A = this chain, B = another copy of it.
């Protein structure tokens, strides 16, 4: 067992696609739990598109990661020392310990999870923030209802794969957009979407026609760019466009591409609404419970893409932007 705490600190503000030198890979001493605190040994680090935004020095829904600070990330791990009566050694918890192997917390941001119900890493995926993002985004912001056609981009991804499955549970039709035939096959055959269209295919626009012949009632956008415009052009009356992310734009060095077709909102009396999952923090309990129930009933499937070795963090993180990952991307950082 490593006697040190390997960690990635933010070293520079990236321009465009982050490069290795934007982080510093260092060793620190394993911290001790102070009064009221717990020490957590991190098993898995979550890799999420939003992390790219946290690296920019820009006002947003949370402050940016400071230069010299451990790179912020969601984590799941085990309590190995506790001075907090709410947690015992051996408890498994999710938290925000960042890209490192050990972290200390006062417990306020920790949530206990049960590894006997689902694999530990799924608490960073379908039963974690991506699952909650899909759940609140589709049911609250998107106000999905029976008979709707729900279109979702990033359909094989951590959030998108859940959006379509929840749409089906709610009695809607689910149409996915994903990159490549393997992902599309998975989305339809494994996850049960009604259709999935490959945006990398030359026939993409034509392929959308049949599955969207009755228009789009909810478009759940994870990507922005051209695909957002394509969806806006196909809205039904009173459609809802859920702005969850814009991964196509996060590494831009030019201005963000604004949706040219936004006047569809006027013609169709439609709305476009954004959110981040933190807006729903008071309802996390209800959300996790619902997701876990569906999971235990076999109504939801999750897939994680697990890379191993904390030293691989930069190259693993970049898979999000190349679309190389297949399923929720996590990095196993615990060493045997």
User: A residues engaging B (CB < 8 A)?
Assistant: 60-61, 224, 229, 243-246, 249, 255-276, 279
Contacts and interface: CB of A to CB of B under 8 A. Distances in A.
A261 B258 contact: yes
A60 B261 CA distance: 13
A262 B259 contact: yes
A272 B258 CA distance: 13
A274 B270 contact: yes
A271 B259 CA distance: 14
Nearest to A265: B274
Contacts of A259: 258-259, 262
A175 to B, nearest CB: 21
A283 to B, nearest CB: 14
Contacts of A257: 258, 260
Nearest to A232: B258
B269 A271 contact: no
A99 B210 CA distance: 42
Contact of A243 (B246, B263, B275, B279): B263
Contact of A267 (B256, B269, B276): B276
Contact of A269 (B265, B266, B279): B279
A154 to B, nearest CB: 15
A271 B270 contact: no
A256 B245 contact: no
12 contacts: A243-B262, A243-B266, A256-B260, A256-B262, A256-B263, A259-B262, A265-B272, A267-B274, A269-B276, A270-B273, A271-B274, A272-B273
A244 B279 CA distance: 28
A245 to B, nearest CB: 7
A255 B61 CA distance: 31
A262 B262 contact: yes
Contacts of A271: 271-274
Nearest to A272: B272
Given A246-B263, A267-B274, 14 more contacts: A61-B267, A243-B263, A243-B266, A246-B266, A256-B262, A257-B258, A258-B261, A259-B262, A262-B262, A265-B273, A266-B275, A270-B273, A270-B274, A272-B273
Nearest to A235: B274
Nearest to A246: B263
A246 B260 CA distance: 12
A258 B260 contact: yes
